[in-house]
Structure formats: structure tokens, C-alpha cells
Amino acid sequence: MEPSVGEGDFLIPIVDRLLASYRRSQSGGDPVMDLSDAIRVVELSRPTLAAARSRLHDHLVENGLTAEQSTALCDRWLMQGDFLLVELGKEGFDFVVGNPPYVRIEQIPIALQYEYRLRYKTLYDRADLYVAFMERSLAELRDGGVLGFIVSDRWTKNKYGGPLRKLVSEGHHLRYYVDMVNTPAFLRDVIAYTGIFVIAKEEDGPTTVAHRPEIDPNHLRALARQLRGQEPGAVKIKNVVSGSEPWMLEEFERLVVMRRLEEAFPLLEDAGCKAMIGVATGLDEAYVGKFEDLDVEPDRKLPLVTTKDIKTGALVPLGLGVINPWRDEGGLVDLKRYPRLAAHLEQYRTQLEKRSTAKGKPAQWHKTIDRITPSLTYRPKLLIPDIKGSANVVFEPGQHYVHHNLYYVVSDEWDLRALRAVLLSSVAALFVAAYSVKMRGDYLRYQAQYLRRIRLPRWSTVADKHRAALKEAGLSGDLAACDRAAFALYGLTEAEIAIVAGRPPAER
């Protein structure tokens, strides 16, 4: 089965293999009778299916079938409809292959979203539609059947992929994974980061992993041999799948080092630090502007820091501010007591009332999505942008509130200058790279959920010599010094340092 056939790029090679196998095993049979149940493909778009049908029909005729036989097989093999809703008319498949569609859930009509969510338990949070395609495809496998998809790798680590990861862990085996990040796997350029996943309905076992193959016939044939264990090049990783936990599919040696550190040190938040995201207002146009130009009462605005303030790697304030409609003790302020604030927000009332957060509680139309707690302004913190290509962890001395496009770390135990050295180091990047999804250009997402995965000793257990080295490196921001101090802090061996630093085997 192929659940989204497109114009037949997978279908034609499938048919070639089927015909070759049929000719080896049969002589003089009726191909329509013998092969009519061999393939099922589904396509939602009628014009796209028509193109696939025309291509398939011509291909069958070119391979020796009559026009009538080709028409009959096309009629039997091809289905028009929504794969997530149609009846397939078969009791299980030996193989499901393809490239399911990438459609963000918010692009789907509400009524159809509701129906999909009723049918597919993996459509969780903001899951892409391909997640439901994978759920149904796995459900259609016979015992021992195998699914092979080239699909986005986002679901292996992010929040919305949790239910699908759990489903795979229940009665399935991730046999193979091929990392296709930055690999031109498609006929046209696409933004999505993809991987090849081969999942069997069988008892779990090790996963064979390969990374970023070259797209040419010789290299791909070699890749197939490597995955089958016929020549070196791929690695086997045990215990990749564990309930809904993110999948660790990175280079095996780095994974081994990370697992050792996970056993030896507590999580960042268990070590006395806290990772958070800045405030989401729900309408920055109304709440954010030049601090001096925000015409509200002085106690209703706070200095604000955004990613633009730290793009140089240091804090260079642009003078922005954020309006605070919240009372310190909780709840919203009475606008009657703040006429300037009321007048300012009234200009945006129509837009503010359209937000979902206001529709449920019309009297609170002027609230920001996140509550603002002014005391956070005056707390020293480390600022970290969501997407990072190079190190950019900035110390903020406690003078600004934080915007939602920034993450920040605070601590009552750790010296933040020393912690900056750790977060700038290759050790922190090791954890973030393992748990986060990569963006174009191998940029990492330093979101709070990934920062919390970093392992860190408690400050009280750090020796004085390590404290001094970390502080000095954190103050200077010198990345090599940060690495040296962090490697010593974690007690890495020379071999582990070479692996974490990313040195190729020949240089270790």
C-alpha cells in the first residue's frame, strides 16, 4: 500500500519489482487475476490521481501487458479518496511505503480536524497530518508487516510526536533510521527535515542507524548493504524507543557519552536552575513599543529585552518596553484607576477582543496571554534565543523583562557567570542537539524543554578550581575556555572530549 501516491514516483518502482517477481514465479498466468490484490494506492487529488493512472497505464503497456489488462489493474490498484477516512477493502498489508503529506493541522477545516482527532489518537497538540498517516499505516500492517516512510523527523523529539512515539513502542520495532537532514531527497527543494523510518510490526530490537547518504545510485546501494549488515558504515543502537520519550538517534559515540553524564549528574532544574520563556502578550502592537513612548502610567510599563537586543552576543538595549496590565498580587488592574493605560489599550480594543483569550472572558479583554510578574525584571538571568547557529548566551544583570522570543535561565544556587560558560560549551550543545530538532543549516533550537535536559552538578559540589575557571570563561565568553572549563567540570576523559568536541576519528 501507498497512502498518498502523488503522480507515482514510488508506485512505478513498486510495480517494476512486482512484475519482475511475478515473471520469475509464474508462467502463462492471468496477471489481472493474479496481481489485482497485490497493490493498493490512495490519492486525495483527482487530477493528481489521473496523472498517476496515465503514467501507470503506459508503464504497464510498455512492460508487456495489454491495454485492457493495464486498465483493469489500474482500476483495481488505484483509489481516489482521503486515506484517513476511506475503507481500504483489505485485511492488512505486508508493506506500506511512501512519503505522506505535510499539512499543518491549523490548515485543515475545523470540522475535518474534529473528525480526524476522533479517529486518530496521535493527532495531539499541533501535530502535522503525516502523524495520522503513520498511525493508520501502522494499524494496517499484518503481523510481521513493515512500514517504510520518508517523512519529517520532527515527531521523533518534539511534544506533538509523543503519542506516536508511544504507539511505535507498543508492538513495533524501529528497524532502520536514515538521517536525511540537509540531504536533497526530493525532486524539488523543501524546508522540512526528513528521515527514512522503517518500522516493523514485530518484537522490539536494536535500531540500525545511518546518517546523510549521498544521493546517487552507488552510494544508495552501499547504504542498503550497510543497513542489512553486509558491510560497515551503519551503527546499531539499543533502546531507542521507550514509550513517549524523545528518540536518541544521533551518532552512537556521542550518545554513549551523554548517557554516562545523564547517569552521573542531575537535570538542570534539579541542580537549582530554572529555564523559562519570556512573556507572550497576544498582540505586541498593543503592548510593546519604545519605553519612553508608551503613554501609560509609570508603574504600568517595564523595560523589555528581545532577541534583537542580544544579536551581537552582548546585551545592547534598544529601549523597548512592555505594558503590564496585571496587579502584583494577581488579577488585572482596574482600568478606571489608570486612565492613561485605559486610553492606550482602548485604541486596540477591537483587535484585543478578537483573541481567543478574550472571547472566553470578555471582561478581561485587556489581559496579556502570559501574566507579567514585575519582580522577574530585577532578577539576573541568562538570555538564550530560540534558534542558535553559534553560541549566544547573554548575561542580563536584572534590568529587563523578557520577550517571548527569548528563553532565559535563572538560579538561586549557581553563579550565573559560571553557568554561562556551561551553556556556551560543547557539553550543553551535546544535550540540546540530542533532544531538539535541527533547523535549516544545522541550527539548534534552544527551547526551555531542551535546556531542561542538560545535566549539571549542584553548585555546592563544584570544586573551587572549577568554579574559578568557569567564572573566568563565562565572563570572557571565550568558547575554547568555556569548553575547557566544562570538560573539567564534568570529568570528561580525553577520548570523551574528542567525541563531544566533534573531532573526526582520525584526529582523536
Buried-exposed string 452-471: b where 16+ CB fall within 10 A, e elsewhere: bbbbbbebeebeeebbebbb
Structure confidence at residue 154 (pLDDT): 87
Question: How far apart (Å, rounded) are the C-alpha atoms in residues 104 and 223?
Answer: 32
- The mean pLDDT value for 347-370 works out to 91
The pLDDT > 90 percentage for the chain reads 75
| pLDDT-based confidence at residue 189 (cuts at 50, 70, 90) | low
| pLDDT-based confidence at residue 361 (cuts at 50, 70, 90) | confident
Structure confidence at residue 215 (pLDDT): 85
Structure confidence at residue 255 (pLDDT): 83
Structure confidence at residue 186 (pLDDT): 59
Structure confidence at residue 315 (pLDDT): 95
Structure confidence at residue 248 (pLDDT): 81
- The mean pLDDT value for 388-393 works out to 72
Question: How far apart (Å, rounded) are the C-alpha atoms in residues 153 and 324?
Answer: 39
The enclosing H or E element of 135 equals helix 129-139
Q: How many CB atoms are closer than 10 A to CB 116? A: 19
Lowest mean pLDDT among 175-179, 255-259, 324-328, 484-488: 255-259
Give the Å distances, CA to CA, from 170 to 110, 165, 202, 203, 354.
30, 9, 10, 9, 43
- The mean pLDDT value for 395-407 works out to 96
- The mean pLDDT value for 419-430 works out to 96
DSSP 246: P
Q: Is the pLDDT of residue 296 over 90?
A: yes
Question: How far apart (Å, rounded) are the C-alpha atoms in residues 150 and 155?
Answer: 13
| pLDDT-based confidence at residue 388 (cuts at 50, 70, 90) | low
Structure confidence at residue 504 (pLDDT): 52
Three cell numbers, residue 10: 514510488
DSSP 269: G
- The mean pLDDT value for 385-412 works out to 90
Residue 160: half-sphere exposure toward Cβ, Cα within 13 Å: 18
Contact predicate 306/406, CB 8 Å: yes
- The mean pLDDT value for 452-465 works out to 97
Structure confidence at residue 503 (pLDDT): 67
Q: Is the pLDDT of residue 313 over 70?
A: yes
Three cell numbers, residue 357: 483569550
Question: How far apart (Å, rounded) are the C-alpha atoms in residues 177 and 174?
Answer: 7
Contact predicate 57/71, CB 8 Å: yes
Structure confidence at residue 508 (pLDDT): 43
More confident site: 436 or 291: 291
Structure confidence at residue 506 (pLDDT): 46
Q: Is the pLDDT of residue 318 over 80?
A: yes
More confident site: 420 or 434: 420
- The mean pLDDT value for 459-488 works out to 97
Structure confidence at residue 191 (pLDDT): 47
Q: Is the pLDDT of residue 188 over 70?
A: no
Give the Å distances, CA to CA, from 317 to 66, 303, 309, 402, 404.
74, 9, 5, 12, 16
Three cell numbers, residue 457: 552538578
Lowest mean pLDDT among 147-156, 244-253, 449-458, 470-479: 244-253
Residues forming beta bridges with residue 319, ordered by sequence position: none
Strand 387-388 relative to strand 443-445, pairing: antiparallel
Q: Is the pLDDT of residue 190 over 80?
A: no
The pLDDT > 70 percentage for the chain reads 94
Structure confidence at residue 37 (pLDDT): 93
Contact predicate 491/304, CB 8 Å: no
Question: How far apart (Å, rounded) are the C-alpha atoms in residues 123 and 308?
Answer: 35
Structure confidence at residue 438 (pLDDT): 66
Lowest mean pLDDT among 83-97, 272-286, 431-445: 431-445
Residues forming beta bridges with residue 209, ordered by sequence position: 177, 235
* DSSP string covering 396-428: E-S--EEBTTEEEEEESSS-HHHHHHHHHSHHH
Question: How far apart (Å, rounded) are the C-alpha atoms in residues 199 and 355?
Answer: 42
Question: How far apart (Å, rounded) are the C-alpha atoms in residues 506 and 424?
Answer: 26
Structure confidence at residue 238 (pLDDT): 84
Helix (H, G, I), strand (E, B), or coil: what is residue 8? coil
Q: Is the pLDDT of residue 411 over 60?
A: yes
* DSSP string covering 314-362: S-----EEEE--B-TTSSB--GGG-HHHHHHHHTTHHHHHTSHHHHS-G
Q: Is 196 exposed, middle or buried (0-12, 13-18, 19+ CB in 10 A)?
A: buried
Three cell numbers, residue 209: 542507524
Structure confidence at residue 389 (pLDDT): 60
Lowest mean pLDDT among 269-283, 374-388, 462-476: 374-388
Which residues have CB under 8 Å from 266's CB, separation 6+? 455, 456, 457, 458
Q: Is the pLDDT of residue 283 over 90?
A: yes
Q: Is the pLDDT of residue 507 over 60?
A: no
Task: For residue range 115-130, list pLDDT tens digits in order.
Answer: 999 999 999 988 999 9
What value, to the nearest 5°, has the Cα angle with vertex 281 and ends 277 and 284? 115
| pLDDT-based confidence at residue 391 (cuts at 50, 70, 90) | low
